[in-house]
Structure 1
Amino acid sequence: MTGSPISTRVLLLIEDNEADAELVSAYLSESMREQYEVHHVVSLKGALEALQSLAVDVILLDLRLPDSVASESVGKIRGEIGDVPILVLTGMSDEELALDCINAGAQDYLFKNELHPNALRRAIGYAITRKREAELRELRETMARYRSLASDAAETSVTAGVFGLGPVKARLPAEFDDCVGSYGRLLRTYVNQLLADAPKPRDSMELLVTRLGDLGAGPRDVIDVHTAALDEAAEEVNIKRHHSLIVEGRLFALEMMGLLVDYYRIGHRRRFQGTIP
């Protein structure tokens, strides 16, 4: 009988004491349910450099490092990686400093002299679970807001009010579905380039807005397309990726609406042939 697949958790251990680092790694290696990919650095500087290229599930942070202490470390790491869980490793005499770290954004703290394998793995599991639950709540709340703005939720859509027409998805379902596919691909590209600090796909955005405008689309139609694209993405990508598309994609939706305003206000349109990238 085949058991459940073992999950792998990527962990960044920031600890300048080699003996403590080896102990943590040994405790994590005893797990039968999860595998831990441990990346060990000895300073805050090394941690910030590692986080430039490393996607981690959780961070274990020694309270006292050679180049940083306490909440300063938490604040700088938070600025680099956002909401990845941070667990602080501390001594009994440093509990007040550990609480300062909680106020700065750490999720929990563990006393080194009370550390044992089950407690360590349980704290890591709880931290990751809390983060995922928060992400799921945010996903549900954001999708609910989108749906409340979509044409289905409106007694009279903006499109109907301005043009005397119904929503694009009701009038032209095949064209709507095609726009959703193009929008979803463009949303992924936009988010990838935004996270990589690369130029936005402006030309492709203008092409898609021209197509939506030519179909008589209004702001609620953009919300319809955006929501449908996110619904499709939910079936194709993992939770972390879907969360990124929803959070970073809010700016994309706003920019698309702005371009649609330009389409109607100043006649800004882009000619296109074939399929939008």
Structure 2
Amino acid sequence: MIDLLQPLTILVVEDSQTDFVILSEYLSLAALSVRTIVQAKSLHESVSLLHKKSFSADLIFLDLTLPDSQGLESFIQINAKAPGIPIVVLSELADIQVALSTIAHGAQDYLLKGEFDEKVLTKTIQYSIERKRIVDEFAENRLHSQKLIARATIQTHEQERKEIGAELHENINQVLATAKLCINLAMNENEKRNDLLEKSGEYISRAIAEIGNLSQSLVPSALFDIGLNEALEEMVEKIHKRHGLQIKLTIRNVAFDKLGNSEKLTIYRIVQEQLNNILKHSRANKAEIELRTSKNNFYLTIKDNGIGFNTENKYQGQGLGNIETRLQMHEGKLYITTAPQQGYTLNIEIPFA
């Protein structure tokens, strides 16, 4: 592990001055010795800074939405300029799928804006630097190492989500604590007061919304207490009641006893991701989910009757990055069949351990 007394130089690639002030305030409260915090407000500015021989960073925080670059491309370019520096992605709730894709491409971790405090920040910095060191020690087997990191990162976040499910108020407290921090900062920051107050209002609204819907996106107790079958039936029923999507769930002689908890959780999350993709992008009114097993493999098929897309355009906007990242944990495979106005079929194959 890193020495927490070692002074760190941190580069924050963030165009929002309000978000930068909040992050800087939490860094000042963290159990870390920080020498310098440097802000770059664009991809171009950060790349120029990293080119300077006089500048050296121990860690980079990267916002996924910049004036001159968006999403995964921002990470790829900065990582290419600074391959030896650990990168932690700063993500909005809507960008979680992209954030997970950056981990598959080499990022060490991600943080949701407004949902971390100084303790979470300390842990994230500590483990991100350590993970980066592990990868550089095993550079000759980087792909395997990156799969291990993606697995460890996802498992860590899944464990945290389970804990939040048990004690939901802890998650709400973090959001409200950030809102309170914004209000406190606004009292002393005349130039940024309006932005900080507006940000605090956003966090309070998020806390209210989270109370009503966050638990539905977490791992249901039925997944491990009752079974994957029941958990999927519960999910399908809730989506139908809320959105009206007709979903047919078929389970054909599935050997559930061959699936460990990790595989069950991966399957549950993939179904959840794809149904969300169908609701957001497909314009479908019907979907089918089929689970089956052979002697050596588990198979999952999810179909919809939506608009589909042309695969020659290499469209990646339906959350495939997140699904692919989860499949890497189990050496799984993904196959897609689609065409314009011909619906969309996602086939998953996972070998039994």
User: Which TM-score band (shorter chain)?
Assistant: 0.3 to 0.5
Greater strand proportion: 2
**Which structure's CA Rg is the greater one?**
1
Which of structures 1 and 2 has the larger relative contact order (alpha carbons within 8 angstroms, sep 6+)? 1
Taking structure 1 as the reference length, the TM-score comes to 0.46
Greater helix proportion: 1
Taking structure 2 as the reference length, the TM-score comes to 0.36
